[in-house]
Chain A
Amino acid sequence: MLEGRTDRGAVPHPDVHTYDEVNRDVLRALETPGKAWWALLAVAAAGVVLFFGAWGWQLYKGIGVSGLNSPVGWGVYITTFVFWVGIAHSGTLISAILFLFRAPWRQSIYRAAEAMTVFAVMTAGLFPLIHVGRLWHAYWLIPYPNSRFLWPNFKSPLVWDVFAITTYFTVSATFFYLGAIPDIAAARDRATGLRKKFYQVISLGWRGTDSQWHHFGKAYIFLAALAAPLVLSVHSVVSWDFAMTIVPGWHATIFAPYFVAGAIFSGVAMVITLVVPIRKIFGLEAYLTTKHFDAMAKLCLLTSLIVLYAYLSEFFLAWYSGEEIERTAFWNRLVGDYWWATWTMLTCNGFVPIMLWFRRIRHSIPALFVISIFINIGMWFERYVIVVTSLHHEYEPFAWGIYRPSLTEMALLLGSFCWFGFWFLLFTRLLPPIAIAELKEVLPAPTRKKTGEAY
């Protein structure tokens, strides 16, 4: 009954010894904001103002302030929507799928990754609302009994998307909050004053009793088991927004796995981008070691190869099909009006990550930070290429046209990063950024009898 658990000590945190140390180090992040944090928050808040200002301007003037027009009716908004949904994916991947596979390096990263997921879906969810223009009609997407008994068309991928995204937001937010409850209780037990009141309420009276842990453990496994296929389904559904049409460049069966791999790729890169400053600002070097970054870099490398393979097979199949329109569409991507976007995508997502083959690069945190930013840029351009180059050059030559994003669209794109960053910054100050309880599970348990009986 007392046999040792093999996952104990699988990832050594050589500089962390006792449970008290974990509480002290992680909860310290909630106490000292520092100048860097306030400066970042000020920038993010300014960006949030810009974001809602630009959206308000579009609502006031109409959708004409964007560059969207025939033939390119989907532009920066849909690109950014897909980008943020993609970012959201690796959070649940790290928290749910790696949990089910017992990957021992996830503990110190997954809280931040899950927070990223929740905020990224919150950001992504705004873009369809921005894109529809007439915001006040957005509720038509929801099936509700109306006076004419009209229902949404459940054969439409856009309605699938509504269901997928709302489910994803609900489940990932629930999963995030549930996992955080024991750590909020830990924060409550050390906090004073108003903060204590706040944590008392949101920890829901967690005491860490045997029965609470027992049910919690089981509930967590089931939520992870439900979230794992959900991750794969959500970006598949997003890809079907494109693949279910007959637009050349969109109508491809490869889209679902191609989008899922791309989503995980961009998401892991974003985790690296976010975790590097957290580690620095809050002094969590002992918890986020090169081993963790190495594992994330390998995941990036793997998904980068899958994505590159998908690019190449798309080009190959366009040529191999012998279908003239399909061939033209892909040739147009490489050398057409948007060649710069395609080459940015290929460089950032296919070629730059080749550096991750080298251990020295994987172990250098500044190098990983720079590469992760390249990947973020590349993955935004991937969606831009898919959305815009396919639409601007469809079947009929008289219906070809050029799309240029307007200033309003650029403001909303920039503002979306600030909106996301704003929530993420608040998270780092309000919730323990590293999973305290789960980290303790991988530390060796303190025992009185040093008899070698494995605990």
Chain B
Amino acid sequence: MGNTTGLLASYEYLDSTVDAIKALKKAGFETVKAYSPYPEHHIEDALGYGQSPVRVWTLVGGLTGTATGFALTIWTSIDWPLVVGGKPIVSIPAYIIIAFEMTILFGALATIIGLFVLSRLPSIKPTVVYDPEFSSGRYGVYVEGNHQSLEEARQIMNEQQPIELREGELDD
């Protein structure tokens, strides 16, 4: 077991999980990962998360959609000018609807792409330590470090009485 690089603890309680993360962070561990069955703000706070860059994807996607919507309608009208219903060749009020729908469409798709890029989905091949209980009712904390520092981590994690503590390895 000389090449151990990580430890994975499962906890039953939320406060134990948050306390363990805080203690690990305080002890100077860089790579601390948490697992939870649902989005948990306390864990995110303990890990010190800021704003997610997903919002940039949404904004850029949405604006691209607006531009595309107007560009498509205006360009095609000029490409073959045809008076319909006595309205101007380029009728902006009517085109707002197309531009609006394309704003939503591009914005939504860009958000999804952004999410996939940022959270490394899809990852069909298991590349992280995991326990199936994390999707049910348990919280998990995973920490990486060298051989000596992991002994310290083990101590910190044990203080919060984990249900299980095991050495990290690739599994499914």
Task: Give the interface of A toward B (CB within 8 A).
Answer: 1-2, 5, 18-20, 23, 143, 149-156, 159-160, 163-164, 166-167, 170-171, 174-175, 178, 181-182, 185-186, 188-190, 200-201, 204-219, 222-223, 226-227, 229-230, 233, 237, 436-438, 440-441, 445-449, 453, 455
B119 touching A212, Cβ below 8 Å? yes
Q: Interface on chain A toward B: helix, strand, loop, or mixed SS? A: helix
Most chain A Cβ neighbours within 10 Å, of B84, B115, B122, B134: B115
B36 touching A447, Cβ below 8 Å? no
Can you give 27 A-B contacts (C-beta < 8 A)? A1-B46, A18-B137, A23-B135, A149-B80, A153-B84, A154-B95, A155-B84, A163-B102, A171-B108, A185-B135, A204-B124, A205-B124, A207-B128, A208-B36, A213-B38, A217-B39, A219-B52, A219-B115, A222-B58, A222-B111, A223-B111, A229-B100, A437-B39, A438-B38, A447-B14, A448-B16, A455-B15
With contacts A205-B125, A210-B44, A215-B118 taken as known, whether A437 is within 8 angstroms of B38 at the C-beta atoms is yes
Known pairs A163-B101, A205-B122. 18 more at Cβ < 8 A? A2-B45, A19-B38, A23-B137, A150-B80, A189-B133, A190-B132, A190-B136, A205-B124, A205-B126, A207-B128, A211-B118, A215-B114, A227-B108, A230-B101, A437-B37, A440-B38, A447-B14, A455-B15
Alpha-carbon separation in the docked complex, A101 to B67 (Å): 30
Q: Interface digits, B130-161 against A, CB 8 Å rule (1 contact, 0 not)?
A: 10111111000000000000000000000001
Residues of A within 8 A of B37 (CB): 19, 186, 208, 436-437, 440
Minimum C-beta distance from A211 to chain B (A):
6
Which A-B residue pairs are the 10 nearest by beta carbons?
A204-B122, A19-B137, A189-B132, A205-B123, A151-B76, A218-B52, A219-B115, A186-B135, A448-B13, A440-B38
B169 interfacial contact with A, CB 8 Å: no
Residues of B within 8 A of A143 (CB): 72, 76
Alpha-carbon separation in the docked complex, A210 to B98 (Å): 38
Give chain B interface residues in 4-40, CB to chain A under 8 Å: 12-16, 18, 33-40
Alpha-carbon separation in the docked complex, A216 to B40 (Å): 12
A-B contact count (CB 8 A): 210
Alpha-carbon separation in the docked complex, A178 to B109 (Å): 11
Most chain A Cβ neighbours within 10 Å, of B47, B54, B80: B54
A229 touching B121, Cβ below 8 Å? no
B119 touching A215, Cβ below 8 Å? yes
A206 touching B121, Cβ below 8 Å? yes
Complex partner residue of A209 from B35, B108, B132, CB under 8 angstroms: B35
Q: Interface on chain B toward A: helix, strand, loop, or mixed SS? A: helix
Minimum C-beta distance from A312 to chain B (A):
29
B41 touching A5, Cβ below 8 Å? yes
B123 touching A182, Cβ below 8 Å? no
Complex partner residue of B85 from A155, A190, A212, CB under 8 angstroms: A155
Closest residue of chain A to B129, judged by CB?
A207
Closest residue of chain A to B121, judged by CB?
A204
Alpha-carbon separation in the docked complex, A226 to B80 (Å): 33
Residues of B within 8 A of A18 (CB): 137
B64 interfacial contact with A, CB 8 Å: no
Closest residue of chain B to A150, judged by CB?
B80
Residues of B within 8 A of A185 (CB): 135
Closest residue of chain B to A152, judged by CB?
B76
Alpha-carbon separation in the docked complex, A151 to B75 (Å): 10
Closest residue of chain B to A165, judged by CB?
B101
Alpha-carbon separation in the docked complex, A314 to B85 (Å): 27
With contacts A186-B37, A446-B12 taken as known, whether A226 is within 8 angstroms of B111 at the C-beta atoms is yes
Closest residue of chain B to A441, judged by CB?
B38
Residues of B within 8 A of A438 (CB): 38
Residues of A within 8 A of B76 (CB): 143, 151-152, 154
Minimum C-beta distance from A27 to chain B (A):
9
With contacts A151-B79, A208-B37, A438-B38 taken as known, whether A447 is within 8 angstroms of B13 at the C-beta atoms is yes
Residues of B within 8 A of A188 (CB): 135
Residues of A within 8 A of B112 (CB): 174, 178, 219, 223
With contacts A143-B72, A154-B73, A171-B105 taken as known, whether A205 is within 8 angstroms of B121 at the C-beta atoms is yes
With contacts A215-B115, A448-B15 taken as known, whether A2 is within 8 angstroms of B136 at the C-beta atoms is no
With contacts A205-B122, A207-B128 taken as known, whether A222 is within 8 angstroms of B55 at the C-beta atoms is yes
Alpha-carbon separation in the docked complex, A414 to B44 (Å): 50
B105 touching A216, Cβ below 8 Å? no
Closest residue of chain A to B15, judged by CB?
A447
With contacts A155-B94, A167-B105 taken as known, whether A182 is within 8 angstroms of B135 at the C-beta atoms is yes
Minimum C-beta distance from A401 to chain B (A):
26
Residues of A within 8 A of B39 (CB): 213-214, 216-217, 437, 441
Alpha-carbon separation in the docked complex, A177 to B55 (Å): 19
Alpha-carbon separation in the docked complex, A284 to B42 (Å): 30
